[in-house]
Chain A
Amino acid sequence: MSARPRSAALESFRSNPISLFGLALVAFCVLAAIFAPWVTPYPTHVGPIGDFAAINAAPSAKHWFGTDTIGRDIFTRVIFGYRLSLTMAVLVLAISVPIGVVLGLVAGYVGGWVEYVIMRLTDVFLAIPPLVLAMSIMGFLPPTLTNAMLAVTAMWWPWYTRLVYNVVRAEAREGYVLAAEVVGASVPHILFREILPNCVPPVLTKITLDIGFVVLMVASLSFLGLGVQPPTPDLGSMVADGAKYMPDAWWLTIFPALSIMVLVLGFNLLGDGLREAFDAEV
């Protein structure tokens, strides 16, 4: 595992126009999401109240992305959808990353049966395609925001365990760790003070990439009707609900679909840029 000096990494990131484009997309989406109530034209359309007089209106200057089946402004709902997706992504990662990292550190360094149990458990979770696992969990729980989050979290931590585990296995044989062991440093000290810092670049990079993928996963769940429920604006269910009205009212589906694409693309380009800059293996 090599870690380039921070300044070199920053330099490399800055000189890459694609990464900067990614950063710009992310900044745009995040800012729009944060300031949604102020930047959207019809903030009241977030809830169930629409306008029965303007049902299924095509895109126009008044409604940039058109209106939906109960006359709500789709552009407004997309931006609020961003807000929800991003919040979910941040919360999911805030829970799953620490769990995954700690388990990975322990498994990689302690070894023995602890390692065996943790890594086989990881295998069990990774043996079920993530979407399928999340779906099965959601299938039994009431479809609420919290539950969707829990379901996605349950399938996300093993990736971090495996990532950190691999880093630790590589680092454990390095001189500085051996030196620390020789001077009698405690296990937590070695894990968290010596090894953990070396895990930071790959983990950070993966987090950036994953925000996009969590958004994608949540959207997929709600596309199948297992995620967040209306009237909460959610990109995946907007796509699913709109599909019934194709091709006459194509805007019901296409705009939310493209919006998911833009958001995930932003985080992906940004993550890729970071990966190249840090030269991190994810």
Chain B
Amino acid sequence: MKGLTTALLASVTMLALSCATPAFAERVLRLDEAPIGEIDPAKGTDYADTVLSINIYDTLVYPKQGGPGVQPLLATEWSIDGLNYTFKLRDGVKFHSGNPLTAEDVVFSYNRLMALQQGFASLFQDRVASVEAVDPLTVKFTLKEAYAPFLAALVRLSVVDKALVMANLADGPHGEFKDYGSAYLSANDAGSGAYKVTGQNPQSETTMAKFDGYFLPFAENAPDTVRYRYGLEASTVRQLISRGEHDIADLWLPPEVIKAMVEEGSVHLALEPGATGEYIKLNTQRAPLDDVHCRLALTHAFDYETSNQLLKVNDEAALGVSMNGALPSGLLGHNPADPPFVKDMEKAKAELAQCKYKPGDYPLDIAWIAEVPARERVALLMQAAFTELGFTVNVTRTPWALVSEQVTQPPTAPHAVEIAVAAVTPDPDSLLFNMYSSTVPPTWMSAEHLKDDEVDKLLIAGRTETDEAKRGEIYSQLNKRLRDLAPAIFAYEFTGVYAVRNGVEVHNLKDATTRYSPASFSMLFKDISVNE
């Protein structure tokens, strides 16, 4: 027993010594996200998955820096001729394996995405008639019908190394393509991006190393190694950063924790606003909220000011800003001139008087998603506000899995539930269509279950119109219509607040002109400096 204690002490001392030895001279960047990290670009959809895919893989086009739309990446130029989209590929791009990147790889990657039917396959579902490699550096997509959001959707088509994948097939149902490299790409990469995967554990971390053969420049002091960690507790992240053992925190720290870190002087904040809305989705198919006046009453009763107060980190930063319509800023159709919503009980009561239901007869069910504790506060704000209007309000904490189940049954789904919805491409269609088209099946995105002919008409018009200016007009009009219909309380625009250790700079998040929208597209490791 004595021996053991000595041994333990000895190993602890040894350890303290070994920790003191300086690390390698290489620059390491350590950041984290909620679990889990999916490195197969055909499967991931989440924040972490996006960050991984933009750093490991390349796409034909990339969101435009500092504004809506797209800019060249693998494609140096493209032409749109009716339903034909022809892309010229950059010459000399090499995969991590050393294989050259050609039009064949693009075709293969598209087919792979559609065959696996996961991830962002739905963006292209039933849209594309054919994809062909015209020559090694030219690829042509032919659409079935006009679909304006197509170009923006291509930011989600990561190009994989066909030869490498085909050499690593496992058993699977896709004929000659077997499993389409499903097993292989879950643990290895086949990309051409600025970083290559050196280790993958979806529960704990992905390690990546700088790819020296990358075709775009790296920022000064860009990291040599990146450790992207998953599922760290907020308290852990906070402590690791103040000890200098972590560089960039995830987006889900409570404001109090971020504030404590800023006050400690160990971090500065990098903000990523826009393209994500926090919607308190009102069930338009269930009484009393099937009456627009009852819905409008709720939107006027909600306490936006206190909600913003609760999101505040300090005077410079908050986890959200006021929203003024269905579209958050950074997307085509956002109307900066519209006034933000404010609490106005007089208006609320006036609307309620026009509603055909009496509030006392219809208790409201409000669900808040268990996984996001901060939403409890918003739910309580609603409870307070709606009680003031005379409603009986039941608040239930509901796990995500159950919410996504409940909302598929409009007649019994909760009256209100706060859900964050982000545009997944730089196109407003990727946000609004799945939320408000009456043709989509009931999912958590469409938890309002809105059925409105004019909205449907505008959504279709936005999809088929290819002229950018006219599209802007259409979405602006749609945005106005949605403000009048109040299918949701547009609570606030989510702002990603990254706590970044001093000494590390995320150049892309400096200001509005350097950011890439939508969410996570700014987190290119090659544009981050690890100065010490």
Chain A residues proximal to chain B, CB less than 8 Å:
48-50, 52, 55-56, 69-70, 142-143, 225, 229-231, 241, 243-249
Q: Given that A69-B254, A245-B256, A245-B257 are known contacts, is A229 also in contact with B233, CB under 8 Å in the complex?
A: no
Q: A50-B380, A70-B376, A231-B395 are in contact. Are A245 and B234 (CB under 8 A)?
A: yes
Q: Find chain A residues with CB under 8 A from B213 CB.
A: none
| Partner among A143, A230, A248 whose Cβ is within 8 Å of the Cβ of B256 | A248
Interface membership of B117, Cβ < 8 A: no
Can you list 15 A-B pairs with a CB-CB distance of less than 8 A? Answer: A48-B379, A48-B380, A52-B306, A55-B256, A69-B373, A69-B376, A70-B380, A142-B402, A229-B396, A230-B376, A230-B397, A244-B233, A245-B256, A247-B239, A249-B256
Residues of B near A248 (CB, < 8 A) are 238, 256-257, 260
| Residue in chain A with minimal CB distance to B377 | A70
A245 to B396, CA, bound (A): 23
In the bound complex, do residue B235 and residue A247 qualify as a contact, i.e. CB atoms below 8 Å apart? yes
Q: A48, B395: Cβ atoms under 8 Å?
A: yes
Q: Are A225 and B256 in contact (CB under 8 A)?
A: no
A-binding residues in B (CB < 8 A): 233-235, 238-239, 254, 256-257, 260, 306, 310, 370-371, 373, 376-377, 379-380, 383-384, 395-399, 402
Q: Identify B399's interface contact among A143, A231, A246, A249, CB under 8 A.
A: A143
Known A-B contacts A48-B380, A249-B256; the reply to A229 vs B370 at CB < 8 A is yes
With A50-B380, A70-B380: A244-B397 Cβ-Cβ less than 8 Å = no
Among residues of B, the one whose C-beta sits closest to the C-beta of A47 is: B395
Please name the residue on chain B nearest to A230 by beta carbon.
B397
Q: Contact check, B254 vs A245: say whether CB atoms are below 8 A apart.
A: yes
Contact call B257/A244, Cβ cutoff below 8 A: yes
Question: How many Å lie between the Cα of A231 and that of B379 in the bound state?
Answer: 11
Question: In the complex the two chains form, what is the Cα distance from A55 to B398 in whole Å?
Answer: 23
Docked Cα-Cα span, A231 to B393, in Å, equals 13
A133 to chain B, nearest CB (A): 19
Q: How far is the CA of A57 from the CA of B272 in the complex (A)?
A: 30
How distant is A214 from chain B, measured CB to nearest CB, in Å?
Answer: 23
Taking a contact as CB atoms closer than 8 A, the residue among A49, A246, A249 that contacts B380 in the complex is A49
Count chain B CB atoms within 10 A of each CB in A52, A230, A241, A244 and give the residue with the most.
Answer: A244
What A residues does B257 contact at CB under 8 A? Answer: 244-245, 248
- Report the separation of the CA atoms of residues A50 and B310 in the bound assembly, to the nearest whole angstrom: 14
Say whether B373 contacts A241, CB under 8 Å: yes
Q: In the complex, what residues of B have CB within 8 A of residue A241's CB?
A: 373
Kindly list chain A residues whose C-beta atoms are within 8 Å of the C-beta of B384: 49
Which residues of chain B are within 8 angstroms of A48 by Cβ–Cβ distance? 376, 379-380, 383, 395
* Closest beta carbon of chain A to B402's beta carbon, Å: 6
A225 touches B376 (CB 8 A): no
| Residues in B whose Cβ lies below 8 Å from that of A55 | 256
Min CB distance, B487 to chain A, in Å? 25
Which residues of chain B come closer than 8 Å to A49, judged between CB atoms? 380, 383-384
Report the separation of the CA atoms of residues A143 and B377 in the bound assembly, to the nearest whole angstrom. 20
Distance in Å: Cβ of B99 to nearest Cβ of chain A: 44
Distance in angstroms between the alpha carbons of A80 and B306 in the assembled complex:
29
Return chain B residues, CB-CB under 8 Å to A69. 254, 256, 373, 376-377
Distance from B263 Cβ to chain A, minimum over Cβ atoms (Å) = 10
* List of B residues within 8 angstroms of A56 by Cβ: 256
Contact (A246, B376) CB under 8 Å given A69-B254, A225-B370, A229-B396:
no
The answer to whether B235 touches A246, judged by C-beta atoms less than 8 angstroms apart, is yes
The distance in angstroms between the C-alpha atoms of A231 and B367, with both chains bound, is 12
Q: Which residue of B lies closest to A49 (CB)?
A: B380
Q: Is the CB of B395 within 8 A of A245?
A: no
Q: Which residues of B contact A245 (CB under 8 A)?
A: 234-235, 254, 256-257
Query: Which residues of the other chain, A, contact B239 by a CB distance below 8 angstroms?
Result: 247
Task: Given A143-B402, A243-B233, A244-B235, output 6 extra A-B contacts at Cβ < 8 Å.
Answer: A69-B256, A70-B377, A225-B371, A225-B399, A244-B257, A247-B235
CB distance from A50 to the nearest CB of B (A): 7
In this complex, what residue of A is CB-closest to B239? A247
CA distance A74 to B402 in the complex (A): 28
Cα A4 to Cα B379 with chains together (Å)? 58
Q: Is the CB of A244 within 8 A of B373?
A: yes
5 closest A-B pairs by CB: A246-B235, A244-B234, A229-B397, A230-B397, A248-B260
- Residues on A with C-beta less than 8 A from B379 are 48
- By beta carbon, the residue of chain A nearest B252 is A244
Smallest Cβ distance from A245 to chain B, in angstroms?
7
Determine the chain B residues whose CB is within 8 A of the CB of A231 once the complex forms: 395, 397
Chain A contacts of B238 at CB under 8 A? 248
In the bound complex, CA of A69 to CA of B397 (Å): 15
A225→B370 CA distance, assembly (Å): 8
CA of A70 to CA of B378, assembled, Å: 11
Measured in the bound complex, the distance between the Cα atoms of B260 and A230 in whole Å is 26
List the B side residues contacting A243 at CB < 8 Å. Answer: 233, 235
Residues of chain A within 8 A (CB-CB) of B376 are 48, 69-70, 230
> How far is it, in angstroms, between the C-alpha of A254 and the C-alpha of B377 when the chains are bound?
22
Nearest-neighbour CB distance to chain B for A72, whole angstroms, equals 10
CB distance from A253 to the nearest CB of B (A): 9
**Alpha-carbon distance A243/B238, docked complex (angstroms):** 12
Question: Using Cβ atoms and an 8 Å threshold, which residues of chain A touch B256?
Answer: 55-56, 69, 245, 248-249
Chain A positions within 8 Å of B396 at CB level: 229
Bound: A231/B397 CA distance, A: 8
Complex Cα distance, B234 from A52, in Å, reads: 22
- A248: min CB distance to chain B, Å: 5
* B387 CB to nearest A CB, Å: 10
How far apart sit A163 and B397, CA to CA, in the bound complex (Å)?
Answer: 39
A residues in contact with B380, CB < 8 Å: 48-50, 70
Q: How far is the CA of A69 from the CA of B402 in the complex (A)?
A: 24
- Smallest CB separation, B414 vs chain A (Å): 13
A243 to B306 Cα, complex, angstroms: 25
* Min CB–CB distance B456 → chain A (angstroms): 34
Instruction: State A248–B377 Cα separation when bound (angstroms).
Output: 20
A143 vs B396: C-alpha distance when bound (angstroms): 11
Q: How far is the CB of A177 from chain B (nearest CB, A)?
A: 48
> Complex formed: what's the CA distance from A142 to B402 in Å?
7
Closest to B381 in A: A52
B254 to chain A, nearest CB (A): 6
A249 cross-chain contacts in B, Cβ below 8 A: 256
User: Hey, which chain B residues are within 8 Å of A50, CB to CB?
Assistant: 380
**Complex contacts, A247 vs chain B, CB 8 Å:** 235, 239
